[in-house]
Amino acid sequence: MNTHIEPASQKLPITILTGFLGSGKTTLLNYILTERHGHRIAVIENEFGEVDVDSDLVLASDEEIFQMQNGCICCFVDVRNDLIDVMKKLLSHKDKFDHIIVETSGLADPTPVATAFFVDRSVADEVELDAIVTLVDAMHIDQHLYDPVLDGSDNQAVNQIVAADRIIVNKIDLAGEEALGSLEASLRKLNQTAPILRCSYGVVDLSNILGVNGFRPSYVRERAEILDIDMDDDHDAHGHDECHDAACDHPDHDHGHASVLRPHSHDATVKSHSFVYPHSFDGEKLATFLKDYLGERGDDIFRTKGIVSVANDERFFVLQAVHKLVDFRPDHSWGEDTRKSKFVFIGRNLDRDGIDRNLRACLAA
C-alpha cells in the first residue's frame, strides 16, 4: 500500500484565548504555563483598563510574556498593528518557543484579532491559527448573553462563543448539573460545531485545546467581510508602498496591513476606572468595603481587580472580584518591590469619585 504522509506544518501555531471579563482566562493561562505539556509557549496579553494588574497575576515562568496595554486589541487598528509588531519580534527568535497564546481582553471580539494574522503577509507566512478557545463563566454568563442593555446589538459575550473552536465551561464548581445542562444547550444554539468542555479553575486536558488544529478560517473570513477587513492575500505582491496610516487614501498605497475597520466598538456603557495609591490600606476595612459595595452594585460592576499593600503585612494582597463574588487574600512577599496599591473597576454606571472616596477611607491611619 502506498501511504502518503503529509509533512507536519512548519508554521507556528497560535491559540487565541478569549472569554468574557472574569471567566478564567488568566487562571487557565497560569495552569497552562505551569503544566508539563511539552510545548514551549510565548504569551501576548491584552488587558482592558489603563492600569495593568494582570501581569502581576500571571505566574513567573521562563516563557516570554508581552503585555499590550494601549487599548483593546479588537477595536483599534494601532493595537492590532502593535500585535503584528510583537509577532514579528517573537518570530525573530522563534527557536525559543513552539506555540503562541494570545489572551484577549474580556470585552474583545476575537474575530478581528484572528484576522490580524492574515492581513500581514510576512506574519501570515509563518504562523497559523490553531484554535480560538473561549472560556465561559458557568455562574455569570447568562446575564451577559441575555444582557437587556445591549438588546441584541453587538454583544461580545455572544461573539466570543460564536467564534470559538473550543468552548470551555469554567467554574462548574459554582453551578448545578441542571444549570450546566441548560447552559450547554444555549451555547450549542450559538455554536453548532465547537466541542464543549467543562472544568474548574481552568483544569482541562490540554491536549484538547493546544495543538488541535481546530481553527475554522471560513468563519473568520465571513466575519472579516462584515467588519470590512481586507484579507486579500495578494496585497504585498503588487509592490506598492506599505502604508500604516489608516487615514491615508492614496490609491497606490497598500493598506492591507493597516486595514481600515468600519467603526467597531464595545458596549459604550461599559467603562473601566483605575486607581493607584502609594499608601497601605487597612486590610479589614477594605475587605468590608469591597464586600458591601460589590454586594450592592455587583450587577453593574462586572469585574474588579487589584494588587494591594496592607499595613503591617509583608505580603501583597490580591483582589479578584467577578460581580458580587469577592476574593481578597494575601499572596507572596513584596520583597524589594516598591509597595503600592492599584485597583481596576470595570462595569456600568461607575461612580469614579465615590469609589475613590470610599477607597481612601480604607487607607491605614
Ligand X SMILES: Nc1nc2c(ncn2[C@@H]2O[C@H](COP(=O)(O)OP(=O)(O)OP(=O)(O)O)[C@@H](O)[C@H]2O)c(=O)[nH]1
201 in contact with ligand X (CB under 6 A): yes
**Of the candidates 154, 173, 249, 331, which one interacts with ligand X according to CB under 6 A?**
173
**Of the candidates 322, 355, 359, 362, which one interacts with ligand X according to CB under 6 A?**
322
Say if residue 303 is exposed, middle or buried (CB neighbours under 10 Å; 0-12, 13-18, 19+). Answer: buried
Nearer to ligand X, 115 or 170 (CB): 170
**Of the candidates 143, 200, 274, 280, which one interacts with ligand X according to CB under 6 A?**
200
CB of 305 to ligand X, least distance (A): 6
User: Is there a contact between 166 and 101 (Cβ–Cβ < 8 Å)?
Assistant: no
Q: Select from 117, 205, 271, 285 the least CA-distant residue to 308.
A: 285
**Of the candidates 12, 14, 16, 21, which one interacts with ligand X according to CB under 6 A?**
21
DSSP string, 224-271: HHHHT----TTGGGG-PEE---TT---TTEE-STTPPPPP----TT-E
171 in contact with ligand X (CB under 6 A): yes
User: Is there a contact between 242 and 255 (Cβ–Cβ < 8 Å)?
Assistant: no
Give the span between the Cα atoms of 350 and 300, in whole angstroms: 8
156 in contact with ligand X (CB under 6 A): no
Task: Draw the binding track, 75-114, toward ligand X (x: CB under 6 A; -: no contact).
Answer: -------------------------------x--------
Give the span between the Cα atoms of 126 and 123, in whole angstroms: 5
CB of 172 to ligand X, least distance (A): 7
Alpha helices in the chain (DSSP H): 25-34, 54-57, 77-91, 110-119, 121-124, 141-145, 156-162, 177-190, 217-227, 283-297, 352-360
Task: Draw the binding track, 259-298, toward ligand X (x: CB under 6 A; -: no contact).
Answer: ----------------------------------------
Nearer to ligand X, 20 or 118 (CB): 20
Give the span between the Cα atoms of 13 and 238, in whole angstroms: 28
Q: Which residue is nearest to ligand X (CB)?
A: 106
Which listed range, 15-23, 83-91, 190-198, 306-314, lies at the site for ligand X (CB under 6 A)?
A: 15-23
Tell me how many residues contact ligand X (CB under 6 A). Answer: 21
User: Is there a contact between 196 and 219 (Cβ–Cβ < 8 Å)?
Assistant: no
Q: What is the CA radius of gyration of the chain?
A: 21
Nearer to ligand X, 191 or 320 (CB): 320
186 in contact with ligand X (CB under 6 A): no
User: Given CA atoms 216, 25, 113, 91 in this order, what sign does their dihedral have?
Assistant: negative
327 in contact with ligand X (CB under 6 A): yes
Nearer to ligand X, 245 or 327 (CB): 327
50 in contact with ligand X (CB under 6 A): no
Which residues, 292 to 311, sit near ligand X by CB under 6 A?
A: 303
Which listed range, 34-42, 143-151, 197-205, 232-240, lies at the site for ligand X (CB under 6 A)?
A: 197-205
CA atoms within 13 A on the CB side of 164: 31
Nearer to ligand X, 19 or 256 (CB): 19
Distance of CA 9 to the CA centre of its chain: 27
Q: Which residue has the cell 481586507?
A: 230
Number of other residues whose CB lies within 10 A of the CB of residue 83: 21
Number of other residues whose CB lies within 10 A of the CB of residue 266: 17
C-alpha cell read off for 53: 494588574
Nearer to ligand X, 27 or 81 (CB): 27
Which residues, 22 to 41, sit near ligand X by CB under 6 A?
A: 22-27
Q: Point out which residues bind ligand X (CB under 6 A).
A: 19, 21-27, 54, 106, 170-171, 173-174, 200-202, 303, 320, 322, 327
